[in-house]
Amino acid sequence: MFETQDLLLDKAKFPDWEPMYRNVWSYPESARYMMWSVTTSEEDAKVRIQKTIEFQKAHDTYLVYERKTGEAIGFAGVEKAEPGVWEEAGICLGPRYVGKGYGKQILQCLIRYCKEELGATEFRYSSWEANEASKGLAKSLGFQLIGSEEKTDGRNGQYYVLQKYFLKL
């Protein structure tokens, strides 16, 4: 488990299906800049949390919990890109939890974890070009833009530009 001022990052548990469904997975705006589709029923949310639990067993991915309520309000993770280089594997918060500085706390926590626990010397971050909040977050922490790539959203076939950033640790 990781802690920030307002958040906890920890592995998912089955009862988290309900707050994840209510706070994150059922909102199109949460999925907008991600590679997943909205969950439309409680039964689908229960299946999704089971898949999340299994996935998290082999990956450095976590649910994000609001400290004051204990509720799951998002997810985040990292993955190894190459020796000494780690990258975020997605950061997502439900719409009621954006604009509170939580994204910054999560990204700082992931960077610290990669540097202190995994020996990272570089951290990479990516953002859809249209995602102004995500780009602002990268810049606020000193990330440098290193390139961009045109991609296709597999959900709808739309093109988007993925911007890539790095930070020396």
Q: What is the pLDDT of residues 116-138, one digit of tens each?
A: 999 999 999 999 999 999 999 99
Once rounded to an integer, what is the mean pLDDT over residues 143-166? 96
Q: What is the pLDDT of residue 114?
A: 98
* Res. 109 pLDDT band, cuts 50 70 90: very high
Q: What is the pLDDT of residues 46-86, one digit of tens each?
A: 999 999 999 999 999 999 999 999 999 999 999 999 999 99
Per-residue tokens: 169: 């640790």
SS (H, E, C) the chain: CEECCCEEEECCCHHHHHHHHHHHHCCHHHHCCCCCCCCCCHHHHHHHHHHHHHHHHCCEEEEEEECCCCCEEEEEEEEEEECCEEEEEEEEECHHHCCCCHHHHHHHHHHHHHHHCCCCCEEEEEEECCCHHHHHHHHHCCCEEEEEEEEECCCCCCEEEEEEEEEEC
Q: Name the pTM for this structure.
A: 0.94
Q: CA 89 to CA 44: how far, in whole Å?
A: 23
Q: What is the pLDDT of residues 6-29, one digit of tens each?
A: 999 999 999 999 999 999 999 999
CB 160 within 8 A of CB 151: yes
